[in-house]
Amino acid sequence: MKTRAASCPSCGGTVEFRASSSLVTICPYCRCVVARGDKAVEDHGKVADLVLTDSPLELGVTGRFIKRNFEVVGRVQYKHPAGGVWDEWYLSFSDGTWGWLAEAQGKHYLTFERKMKETASLPEMASIEVGRRLTLGKRGVFTVAEVGIAETGAAEGEIPWDFVPGRPHRFVDLHGDDQAFATLDYNGASPRLFLGKEISLNALDLSGVGWSGLDYAAIGGGKAQRVEALVLNCPHCGGTLELHAPDETERVGCPHCLSLLDCRQGKLEYLQTLNARRVKPVIPLGTVGTLRGHRYTVIGFMERFVLYEGQTYPWTEYLLHNSTEGFRWLVHSKRHWSFVEPLSPHLVQEKGRDVVYDGQTFKLYDKGEAIVRYVVGEFYWKIQAGESVKTRDYIAPPRMVSIERSGSEENQEINISLGTYLTTDELKQAFPMAKALSPLGVGPIQPRPVVGGVYHLWGLFLLAMVVLHVAISKGLSREIDGGFSLIMLGLLSVIPLGTLLYCHNFEVQRWAESDYSPYSSD
């Protein structure tokens, strides 16, 4: 890789352009944005210091992808419209091409710019809605997951485009089959297409400066400088707060004074006091447990509700964090529990009033507007009291697909998740400190009791009766009283018929609070 050196137009320090096609480099001495010009380098302003994230990457790390070597030479941090930042790393390949490696909430997306004639026929950004399916030429069909306007923030190293800090960044993110991922960049005269897929860092054969060479999962997904936990005091009441994911936390709810605090690189700023009754978590914040083979820390707790015909229907949610898996949720409603994981929007398809996921049809159970009422602990977005999203829940017990839509005309996002029912025993096994009580009534995705053995046994008894009836009839000179056989048949049928009635009533109770019950008389 041939290096070109120049003097920083701001401080005079030496800056390098190691990649021949890089357009901008950040001066390591004064943080000046140094851009290539026609005759000399130009000063495009200065950037702020980088926000410390838990990324295991840094400049100088090398790797290999599809038999091509690369080096990590630059990074830009974008400010998300909902709060927080995400990193975009720039990989300079040995053949002169560039790769864009986006990193957010523990996930990584590697994309490459693709030229396509179809960009001329792509819709205007203003007309694109989340959930819409777009065909990207021969690349196939993709589902729009997010439409937004971010802002360019801090940066370091070399950048393959004309970076200017503080500029709006218009983008559309899409998901496709087999973890395919695409971004449409609407910052120029015509949209640019970046196509790739969600990828594990282990697949990039990383090595060099800042990389231990060990398996990513084995090292916990972070560098030595990552802050594992941080103890601070609430700026409003002075109470002690322990942050378990300080690098990714945007908002903190103080459990002592119910203040909502903004969190910027481990510094807390008072925003407001929540006007809500206290809700005591069943699982204390900071509790560590194991679910689905991964250790999670409970870092956040909130109560949400929907309002229907003047009646409030609340439930609580626990935010779980694992350094390699990212964020997961535990949802608690009427003493019923479910473990919730994110899903790619492309994996869920609408089918009339219902949706299909993983080859299974999920029936619409309810829809409404979920509103945040109570918050304590840490959250990875700028959560606030009164925040609302449009929700739809679809069930196929013991699983639920939930779809949440949020944002404005300029910034839209769709989040789809899969909830799986947890019994109280499973929850207590994962989190022994949980003070969980027995469920009330029938939960929307509570598994129906297994009663198949009753019907098999009833069938065997019925068959035995027929055989005995025939055998005894042949051995007697007179016929057996048919009434006696009917009475015996009725007695034998009491248990299976009662079980059938119980199962029917179980399903009726499951759908009792739904406007879309298949058992409704309306």
* Domain positions in the chain: 4-208, 279-430, 452-510
Interatomic CA distance for residues 517 and 257, integer angstroms: 42
Q: Which residue type, as a one-letter code, is found at position 454?
A: V
- The whole-number pLDDT of residue 231 equals 85
Find the range with the poorest average confidence among 105-109, 176-180, 272-276. 272-276
- The whole-number pLDDT of residue 214 equals 39
pTM above the 0.85 mark?
Answer: no
How far is residue 307 from each of residues 67, 313, 369, measured CA to CA in Å?
56, 6, 8
Interatomic CA distance for residues 238 and 143, integer angstroms: 46
* Average pLDDT in the chain: 84
Using pLDDT thresholds of 50, 70 and 90, give the confidence band for residue 483: low
- The whole-number pLDDT of residue 131 equals 92
Better pLDDT: 36 or 181: 181
Q: Which residues contact 195 (CB under 8 A, 6 or more apart)?
A: 111, 112, 114, 136, 139, 180, 181, 182
- The whole-number pLDDT of residue 220 equals 39
Interatomic CA distance for residues 108 and 201, integer angstroms: 7
Interatomic CA distance for residues 353 and 392, integer angstroms: 11
- For residue 247, pLDDT over 60 is answered with yes
Interatomic CA distance for residues 489 and 472, integer angstroms: 16
Better pLDDT: 214 or 11: 11
- For residue 212, pLDDT over 50 is answered with no
How far is residue 489 from each of residues 244, 362, 471, measured CA to CA in Å?
64, 38, 17
Using pLDDT thresholds of 50, 70 and 90, give the confidence band for residue 136: confident
Using pLDDT thresholds of 50, 70 and 90, give the confidence band for residue 221: very low
Give the residue-averaged pLDDT of 74-91. Answer: 90
Q: Residues 407, 413: contact at Cβ < 8 Å?
A: yes
Using pLDDT thresholds of 50, 70 and 90, give the confidence band for residue 223: very low
Q: Which residue type, as a one-letter code, is found at position 356?
A: V
Give the residue-averaged pLDDT of 104-131. Answer: 83
- For residue 494, pLDDT over 60 is answered with no
Tens-digit pLDDT profile for residues 437-479: 888 889 999 998 766 555 565 566 666 666 656 666 665 555 5
Tell me the two tokens of residue 378.
């840490």
| Burial class for 342, CB neighbours closer than 10 Å (0-12, 13-18, 19+) | middle
Interatomic CA distance for residues 92 and 61, integer angstroms: 11
Report helix, strand and coil shares of the chain as percent, to nearest 5.
15, 45, 40
Q: Residues 420, 402: contact at Cβ < 8 Å?
A: no
Backbone φ, ψ for residue 320 (5° rounding): -105, 145
User: Which of 417, 425, 258, 429 has the alpha carbon at shortest distance from 331?
Assistant: 417
Backbone φ, ψ for residue 32 (5° rounding): -80, 140
Q: For residue 321, what is the enclosing H or E element? A: strand 311-322
Find the range with the poorest average confidence among 75-84, 112-121, 215-224. 215-224
Look up tokens 């398809």; give the residue.
Answer: 349
